[in-house]
Structure 1
Amino acid sequence: PHDDAPDNDVAVVGMALRVPGAVTPDAYWQNLRDGVESITHWSVEELEGEGVDPELLRDPRYVRSSGVLDDVAGFDAGFFGVSAKDAGIMDPQHRLFLECAWEALEDAGHTAASFPGSIAVYAGCGMNGYFIHNLLTNPDLVKSVGMFLLRHTSNDKDFLSTFVSYKMDLKGPSVNVQTACSTSLVAIHGACQSLLNGECDMALAGGSTINVPHRTGYLYQEGEILSPDGHCRAFDAQAAGTVFGNGSGAVVLRRLQDAIEDGDPIHAVIRGSAINNDGSQKAGYLAPSVEGQAQAIAEAISVAGVAADEVAYVEAHGTGTAVGDPIEVAALTQAFRQSTDRKGFCGLGSVKPNIGHLDTAAGVASFIKVVQALKHRELPPSISFERPSPAIDFDTSPFYVNATLRPWESDGPRVAGVSSLGVGGTNAHAILEEAPPREPSGPGRAVQLLTLSARTPTALDAASERLAAHLRAHPDEDLCDVAWTLQAGRKAFEHRRTVVCRSIEEAAARLETPDKKSVSTGKVAGPSVSTAFMFPGGGAQYPRMAAGLHESEPVFRKHLDRALGVLADRWQLDLRDTLFATDDLEAAAARFEAPGTQLPAIFAVEYALARLWMSWGLRPNALIGHSMGENTAACLAGVISLEDALGLVTLRGRLFERTKAGGMISLAVPADEIGPYLSDDCVLASVNAPSLCVVSGPVEAIDGLEARLAEEGVDHHRVKIAVAAHSPLLEPILEEFGDYLRSVTLSRPEIPIVSNRTGTWLTDEQATNPDYWVQHLRHTVHFADGIGTLLETPGRVLLEVGPGKTLGSLSRQHASVQPGQAILSTLRHPDEHVDDAEFIQGALGRLWNAGVAFDWEEFHAGEDRQRVSLPTYPFERQRYWIEPGRARYESAERERPIERLDSLDDWFRRPVWHTAAPPDQAATADAPARWLLFVDAAGVGSELARRLRAGGHEVVEVREGDAFYRFSETEYALAPEAGRDGYDALVKD
């Protein structure tokens, strides 16, 4: 733990929002510092087009202004796994907050799946006008879905937080907060308390308000809080009311110590917060209270452990009302005067003149404004302010209205406060401080791999464009941190792209103009991917194979050095000059032709490469080797120890050098047609592919076969080897080879191995029998059959772990290979002029594109990495919106807003009873009939049923219940909210 981080400090590590005029915190900040008013002022024609009652528009009191969002109907339902039907039903407040929650977590550089602790959600939303105006006015929808499901499909305040927890798989506390206008700041306070109490390790907090009908104005009423002209003028002499707006916002919080240790992007620090309620000590339930507000502010300052004169800026609730603003400034002054007498030192502002009053989202909008001000070290202007309200005594207060953009000068850490006040008296105040200086990131690999993914190809392209633009705008970003954040801080989706690069400039360029060598794109075949390692045998070696990895990858270097050390100590074989030759590569290649040098070198490199892949979290599901490569597979699977395996391949190579000179030839002939080319001398050494075999034998016999093949026009080539492997020429060395095997311990494989001898899975009995390995040396390699066995698992990824690309090439010739199936190499071909580090990073990227999972923490083991804020997921929003079932102004009398009547004569009504003749008693005396009555709970229906029965009629009563139930032949219950199921059962019965 960092001792310099107080235990009660909370870091703001992620944030996201949707407010009028901005869909990102950066765009929001730009508008704030530029003094932009994002309130929309409508024309009559525009509002008529939105369906506003023309009669209402003609009312001189109607104000054609509001703070709206550009795409309130949009939602990426597919991304969140929501059906189109449910998306249309969902409250847009819930939809927007879900998007903000996702973006905020991405901004923090974390995913729910990889975060080791619990993540809480504290949030609230406003009244669901969409439910009232759009859903309930569609009786067919209500009937088909049912009221229960209609309400529970994210259409109630109770479900905002829990729906986010469900969709994002968050298992910490999930609490819905409802304190009216202070909801989202109270939610932030609750999240802080949950963190500090140890109930969670990360918390999402915020709020959402979407007014429906959305694009509309309002009817001004004298004496209420709304502005008469559509402008909000907080603290100004002309302040006459507020304008309501729409928005959604979420922040991600962590304990400061944890955030520092994990290298999170800390935007700001919450030093302390407090909430309370006014109680009854005020003019009325809806009225604000100086005492209540002052107590909450003073408590927050005390909890934060700062002096009031350290607070250089306060983001006020600032509604721009003639009553509310003076009371708020008086409360702030009272709280500050408990510890300072200074005057005019603290800036005061309000975001409501910019975006309107966002109701339940107002607090988080103010909070993010303060975070951005601290982060950018600037005080944004509080707009629409010309001269102070005469009802506010600024001259003797600690405050001045910050009406212009100015640098935030400070001798110490910058500190600010933010207030949010709820109708009903719940007050909230938080003290924020700028983030502590960030420790510089440590060094990383020179070559980096950027990973991007999305639900769709178009979203993947959009993500690439966003990242390229971000890197262009931030050329000083640490490339290693960018790579780390993308790898560990983003959920991996099915459509993927990776970029190998060495600099920010190169990364941006390759994102903008992809090339196949450095940029790869793929799609994951399924939910889980099986991977097989393939180990080459003799002949694949070349000088300096993997030398670049020995320089750049500590894990590879450790395992290769260990193997080379064993060879030097136990077998007096020093391979370093040959493996890492920097000059006279031809001489090194010549030394590699000796099997006693070649085979141990290949084995050591393969073993170290496999250990490198495994250290990155790639655990192979199967192993296969070609000839000597099966020895490497056996070692990796735990059949034989590293030391004993090194001895085995060294002995194998040295024994080869004692055999009679031989040769091998590869020919394009299927195994079932190879017979005419075989003899006692020329034997089938291996079946490498369905139409590719290798024949082995004495030099003279191989020379003769080569001439015959040329004469017959059979495609062939001579293998560059002086040993007749897998032929009778090896008989003289088998006994000594077997003696060595019988002297070591052989165990059952811990990873499944495909056998060269059988082309199918190696059994425990075979693996632990020395004779199996002797016969493996002598007899035919059935590699093609082995690949067929591996390919019985659809989509299995084949990774060649060793020098060259031969096994991959052979595998692709198999008929079972699917289009686009990933068959990859770890090391470059000797003729390829590419850095080893770049090549393996490219292979890593293609493996990830295919769906192979990696442990990115282990990939960056030993590095000091920091998460950075990067562009978030590019949601592909579509319109999901159920229109109201009838015109809003179908009945002007019914739809007209509630308004105060100016004349007292119109205020009251009294009931008047009129005399009428009794109902016709003969109405029930008709011929008996069968009646189906849906009866009420008040008894009226039951009384009618009684009278009908008395008149000889047959009556079936149906009353409301929790489910369909048959009490008797004449009495039933059903649940209306269950839809037509109950009615169908009733009719059927």
Structure 2
Amino acid sequence: MTHDTQEDQDHLVAVVGMAGRFPGAPDVERFWENLLAARETVTVLPDRADPAHPDFVPAYGVLEDAGDFDAAYFGLSAHDALITDPQQRLLLECAHEALERAGHGGVDRPVTGVYVGAGGNGYAEAVRARSDEMPFLDEWRLRQATAPDFAATRIAYHLDLTGPAMTVQTACSTSLVAVHLAVQALLNGECDLALAGGATVAPHVPAMRYTPGGIVAADGHCRAFDADSDGTVAASAVGVVVLRPLADALADGDHVHAVIRGSAVNNDGRHKAGFTAPSVVGQAEVVRTAHEVAGIDPREVGYVEAHGTGTALGDPIEVAALTRAFGSGEGRQAPCLIGSVKTNIGHADAAAGVTGFIKTVLSVEHGVVPATLHYRRPNPAVDFTTSSFEVSGTTRAWPTDGHRIAGVNAVGVGGTNAHVVLEQAPHREESAPSTRHRLLLVSGRTPAAAEAAADCLADHLAAHPGTHLGDAAWTLQDGRTHHAHRRFVVASGTQDAVSALRGRATTCVAGALSDAELVFMYPGQGGQHVGMAAGLYDGEPAFRRSLDELADAVTGSLGVDLRDVLYPRTDAERAGAAERLATMEVGQPAVFAVQYATTRLLDSWGLRPTAVTGHSLGAYAAACAAGVFAPADAARLVAERGRLLGTVPAGAMAAVRLPEEEVLGLLPADLTVGAVNGPGQCTVTGPAASVARFVQVLTDRGSEARVLRIATAGHSPLVDPVTRVFAEAVEALPRERPTLPVLSDTTGAWADQEAVRTSRYWVRHMREPVRFGEALDTLFGDPDRVLVDVGPGRTLATLTRQHAAYDSKQAVVRLAPHPAEEASETAVLLAGVGEMWARGAHPDFAALQGDGPRRRIALPTYPFERRRHLVPPPVPATPAAAAPAPSAAASATTAEPASALPTEAAAPPGVPAPEGPPVLQAVLTAFGQALGYPDIDPRDGLFDLGGDSLTATKLAAWAGSTFRVTVKASDVLRFQTPSAFAALIEERRAGAPTQAKENPAS
């Protein structure tokens, strides 16, 4: 079954991402490793293996660190994290991870629905038992934090998902029913992407009692289908999968783990012995229906992941139902294997179905059926002899060489049954090998998280050296949320990427995610060289098209094709090309063409300047970028400018590292200052011989000076004879008002929009000194600007960093290598794009990737910075518990005080404030209790600490009753900091008008 046509794919749904927490496995990869190694990851509980208490089961499928959570990442206060059910917190984290693993963790994901469920775990009762230590907690807040009703909507809210969000509750079949509902929503067009799954998380290991003939095994081992089966063992687990219509997944480059061919859900009704009993009729019918929906013959199914609880009643009925649905084994080439993941991790109740689903997806994907543990001989009550089934007692390869199809079965107490048919994903060609440089991005809400993300990515690439770097780059660019603290590397292979990620060489941290203001700076002549931007010309179609356009525009007037000069084909041609490129006539249009083509390439990648400036010749590329000149007209004007400058008497220019005032006092009569690039950086210009002598004089006196590679005396009286002809050339061209602000390098100020269109502006620009240092003074006025040296070379980036007013916080980006630097132009340009992104720019990553196929792959997900947030369990009312229980603050956590319950209660609503503490101290205490932080700074903002409008309502009520003043929630939201809120209270107590300073964030 290849599903090559749209019609074949219309009713199919792809599994494109998975995430979970399982006993002994913090993620799906470790879970699969454990299954392949036939590990039982149920935890033995020695304190319960007590002969004196034989009725307690000595094992449980423990979920490590179930009480840990990154509250700040999801914008929750420590208090809200503490009272929120760990099941819902872990579902939220797993939903986030599943989307990232699917490559849809960015903000532009398709419309996404949520279908999840959770079991009961007593956490609400534990919180309620400590409510006297939490004066700002009420019953509504507690219910909203713990009731299963909010499991799906909590995910939708925090992850900004706008499709349907439904909580599913069908006991043990919950999460597989959630998968079915998600499939139906996708096929019905209710959403384009869907999260489905469930959670059962016991925050504290429960004491499970053994009842002969009951569901729990006495020794804590689940022996599904075995003669010694005695029941199951309870477990905690969380699983979430990401589903998408197959056609969309294939078209969008998603990684398809497996395909859902069909699914069905029903209920037993009264066809059973009692409400809690299973039914052969109901289970058989749901399997038959799923097969019909999937359009398969049962004989095509190679494996069934059964509910498989190992109970005396459940296993025989389940196999009988499957046998009725599948028929006998007659006509099969091999038996259909059957197994149960509960023998590995235990029974995860509401998460059991999705756990078996994830196991089966991996089995279908990899062609391996893991062992069902503890199976030695068949349960005599299970009739395997007349069935199609054989228990997979050992890990083995898929039982057929053909197309892999499997079923997943789930049964819920109360009779809701679910069955899903999975099949192998369509074959897809691997991404073609590539040595292109790629931009890899990582980010975090904190600097530490960004570093951890880089480490995780480096470890992953080191462990998977065959990873296609283009696929990895696309997944990180388009499939992740880009947080404030950002890192990037540019690499052409996985080893390069690993070294760069671990080298910490390209750390870029932004304090906020405001849109970057990109100022493109275009240097003048001097950085040109043969082969300039050859990598871009060869590898980037947008660059090639633009350069070709300009080369064609000036070939007639130059008498030479710029492409032959820039990119000669032989060594013999190279020498001649270098000579031509050194002339004003050819060098100037060549530099302009490369600058314009680079600008167009960046534009095609979604990177457009908010303002432009240039240095001498560079002003023409800046004006062209701003729309003053049409590109071809600008190229011809630059060529004419170069021709005219080539006719003036032989001249030269030299860089001098001295202040302008000092240079003016030393200059001979025939030299002038041609440029002032900073307080101590000038350029002198004039006749070549005089320039050379002046440089020697300065060198002899110990001053730094050097002759530039410019064969004319620009910006000097020597150009006066050609200004009239040049003015006529400008007047002959159409000129438009600039669409962007243009910073004049003649005045150092923003150019008048009308003036920049006049020939006088451009004649003055050619004749008068360049004052780029003053232009930099203007740009440095806004530290949020990103100053981008478009190149060639890195002249302006260097001048900017050498300027006396430069602050290292000012972002300066270069896009081209130095002529003497052995570096790939593409790599340097991509690094520049990375720096712009790190400062808040928004590249069009699809365009950046190019025209080839883009694939999303599973990569490390966000490195949550978890802290412990867990309320202790209620103390049993037994004689042994007569001693005073430890305080919640002491037992909630020892390492992380933010998780602790408050130890000193502020006056609850209605109780007068104590006489001693000032208002601010009382407010700080109240904020701390309401938000769950023991140390609140008077300048901290309510929202910054995870507060919300409900918190504001509580604080307003507290303040009103405590201080006998009228305070509304809107006041708290307006005066968000404790200092501002305390000032408001003081003034209202005094009857004075409010003068408190509002929080700037409000």
Q: What's the counterpart of residue 894 of structure 2?
A: none
> Contact 1:445 / 1:480 at 8 angstroms: preserved in 2?
no
Number of residue pairs aligned between Structure 1 and Structure 2: 894
Matched, 1:131 2:124: yes
> Contact 1:269 / 1:433 at 8 angstroms: preserved in 2?
yes
Q: What's the counterpart of residue 555 of structure 2?
A: 568
Matched, 1:37 2:40: yes
TM superposition shift of 1:158 = 1.2
> Contact 2:532 / 2:566 at 8 angstroms: preserved in 1?
yes
> Contact 2:106 / 2:479 at 8 angstroms: preserved in 1?
no
Matched, 1:414 2:434: no
Cα separation, partners in 2 of 1:381 and 1:685, compared to 1, 3 Å: same
CA distance in 2, matches of 1:155, 1:361: 17
Cα separation, partners in 2 of 1:984 and 1:717, compared to 1, 3 Å: closer
Cα separation, partners in 2 of 1:343 and 1:506, compared to 1, 3 Å: closer
Gaps of 5+ in 2: 885-909, 911-949, 966-1002
Q: Which amino acid aligns with 1:85?
A: H
User: 1:206-259: CA deviations, max 9, x gaps?
Assistant: 1011124x2243111234322222111112222222211001010000100011
From 776, 792, 797, the equivalent of 1:803 is 792
Matched, 1:358 2:358: no
Matched, 1:524 2:510: yes
Q: Report the more deviating stretch, 745-754 or 437-446.
A: 437-446
CA distance in 2, matches of 1:894, 1:335: 58
TM superposition shift of 1:4 = 6.7
Q: What's the counterpart of residue 100 of structure 1?
A: 94
User: 1:630-656: CA deviations, max 9, x gaps?
Assistant: 101111111100111011100100001
TM superposition shift of 1:291 = 1.4
TM superposition shift of 1:405 = 1.1
Q: Report the more deviating stretch, 538-547 or 837-846.
A: 837-846
User: 1:369-408: CA deviations, max 9, x gaps?
Assistant: 1001111101111112222222221111121211111111
Q: Report the more deviating stretch, 576-585 or 636-645.
A: 576-585
State the secondary structure of the residue aligned to 2:265. strand
> Contact 1:444 / 1:863 at 8 angstroms: preserved in 2?
no
Q: What's the counterpart of residue 65 of structure 1?
A: 59
Cα separation, partners in 2 of 1:717 and 1:977, compared to 1, 3 Å: closer
> Contact 1:795 / 1:818 at 8 angstroms: preserved in 2?
no
Q: Report the more deviating stretch, 371-380 or 333-342.
A: 333-342
> Contact 1:525 / 1:795 at 8 angstroms: preserved in 2?
no
Q: Which amino acid aligns with 1:537?
A: G
Q: Which amino acid aligns with 1:633?
A: A
Q: Which amino acid aligns with 2:415?
A: G
CA distance in 2, matches of 1:341, 1:67: 40
CA distance in 2, matches of 1:210, 1:343: 42
Matched, 1:345 2:335: yes
> Contact 1:308 / 1:339 at 8 angstroms: preserved in 2?
no
Q: What's the counterpart of residue 81 of structure 1?
A: 75
Matched, 1:616 2:605: yes
CA distance in 2, matches of 1:983, 1:458: 37
> Contact 2:536 / 2:543 at 8 angstroms: preserved in 1?
yes
> Contact 1:234 / 1:318 at 8 angstroms: preserved in 2?
yes
Cα separation, partners in 2 of 1:321 and 1:264, compared to 1, 3 Å: same
State the secondary structure of the residue aligned to 2:647. coil
CA distance in 2, matches of 1:977, 1:483: 43
State the secondary structure of the residue aligned to 1:63. coil
> Contact 1:445 / 1:552 at 8 angstroms: preserved in 2?
no
Cα separation, partners in 2 of 1:253 and 1:144, compared to 1, 3 Å: same
Q: Which amino acid aligns with 1:165?
A: A
Q: What's the counterpart of residue 318 of structure 1?
A: 308
Gaps of 5+ in 1: 49-55, 896-933, 935-974
State the secondary structure of the residue aligned to 1:218. coil
User: 1:686-721: CA deviations, max 9, x gaps?
Assistant: 211122122323446545644553465443223333
Q: What's the counterpart of residue 527 of structure 2?
A: 540
Cα separation, partners in 2 of 1:773 and 1:443, compared to 1, 3 Å: farther
> Contact 1:2 / 1:261 at 8 angstroms: preserved in 2?
no
> Contact 2:287 / 2:419 at 8 angstroms: preserved in 1?
yes
- Counting only pairs closer than 5 Å after superposition, residues 946-985 of structure 1 correspond to structure 2 as none
Identical columns (%): 45
Q: What's the counterpart of residue 160 of structure 2?
A: 169
> Contact 2:222 / 2:343 at 8 angstroms: preserved in 1?
yes
From 613, 628, 644, the equivalent of 2:633 is 644
Q: Report the more deviating stretch, 234-243 or 6-15.
A: 234-243
TM superposition shift of 1:508 = 3.4
CA distance in 2, matches of 1:257, 1:703: 70
Q: What's the counterpart of residue 6 of structure 2?
A: 3
CA distance in 1, matches of 2:639, 2:51: 93
User: 1:497-520: CA deviations, max 9, x gaps?
Assistant: 3333332343334445x274xxx2
> Contact 2:125 / 2:874 at 8 angstroms: preserved in 1?
no
Q: Report the more deviating stretch, 634-643 or 829-838.
A: 829-838
Q: Which amino acid aligns with 2:29?
A: D
TM superposition shift of 1:468 = 3.2
State the secondary structure of the residue aligned to 1:31. helix
Matched, 1:308 2:298: yes
State the secondary structure of the residue aligned to 1:62. coil
Cα separation, partners in 2 of 1:411 and 1:699, compared to 1, 3 Å: closer
Q: Which amino acid aligns with 2:858?
A: S
CA distance in 1, matches of 2:790, 2:807: 21
TM superposition shift of 1:765 = 0.7
State the secondary structure of the residue aligned to 1:271. strand
TM superposition shift of 1:128 = 4.0
- Counting only pairs closer than 5 Å after superposition, residues 494-513 of structure 1 correspond to structure 2 as 494-512=484-502
CA distance in 1, matches of 2:954, 2:828: 60
Q: Which amino acid aligns with 1:71?
A: D
User: 1:477-534: CA deviations, max 9, x gaps?
Assistant: 322222222222222223333333332343334445x274xxx222124312221111
From 119, 143, 152, the equivalent of 1:151 is 143
CA distance in 2, matches of 1:818, 1:885: 57
From 177, 180, 186, the equivalent of 1:186 is 177
CA distance in 2, matches of 1:977, 1:729: 73
State the secondary structure of the residue aligned to 1:254. strand
Matched, 1:197 2:188: yes
Q: What's the counterpart of residue 922 of structure 2?
A: none
CA distance in 2, matches of 1:798, 1:597: 28
State the secondary structure of the residue aligned to 1:657. helix
> Contact 2:527 / 2:819 at 8 angstroms: preserved in 1?
no
State the secondary structure of the residue aligned to 1:466. helix
CA distance in 2, matches of 1:498, 1:890: 60
Q: Please provide the CA RMSD for this pair.
A: 2.7
TM superposition shift of 1:181 = 0.9
Q: Which amino acid aligns with 2:69?
A: F
Q: Which amino acid aligns with 1:485?
A: T
State the secondary structure of the residue aligned to 1:824. strand
> Contact 1:149 / 1:977 at 8 angstroms: preserved in 2?
no
TM superposition shift of 1:340 = 7.2
CA distance in 2, matches of 1:613, 1:57: 74
CA distance in 1, matches of 2:477, 2:771: 39
State the secondary structure of the residue aligned to 1:623. strand
> Contact 1:564 / 1:604 at 8 angstroms: preserved in 2?
yes
CA distance in 1, matches of 2:702, 2:883: 94
Q: What's the counterpart of residue 646 of structure 2?
A: 657
Cα separation, partners in 2 of 1:258 and 1:772, compared to 1, 3 Å: same
CA distance in 2, matches of 1:977, 1:399: 61
Q: What's the counterpart of residue 51 of structure 1?
A: none
CA distance in 2, matches of 1:986, 1:600: 77
CA distance in 2, matches of 1:777, 1:983: 71
Computing the radius of gyration from Cα coordinates, the structure with the larger value is 1
Cα separation, partners in 2 of 1:706 and 1:408, compared to 1, 3 Å: closer
From 528, 552, 556, the equivalent of 2:543 is 556
- Counting only pairs closer than 5 Å after superposition, residues 781-860 of structure 1 correspond to structure 2 as 781-860=770-849
Cα separation, partners in 2 of 1:415 and 1:699, compared to 1, 3 Å: closer
Cα separation, partners in 2 of 1:810 and 1:89, compared to 1, 3 Å: same
TM superposition shift of 1:734 = 1.2
User: 1:120-143: CA deviations, max 9, x gaps?
Assistant: 11101111422212x111132453
User: 1:809-852: CA deviations, max 9, x gaps?
Assistant: 11112344332533222221111122323332333333333333
Q: Which amino acid aligns with 1:497?
A: R
CA distance in 2, matches of 1:241, 1:885: 28
> Contact 2:334 / 2:399 at 8 angstroms: preserved in 1?
no
Q: Which amino acid aligns with 1:193?
A: Q
From 101, 111, 115, the equivalent of 1:118 is 111
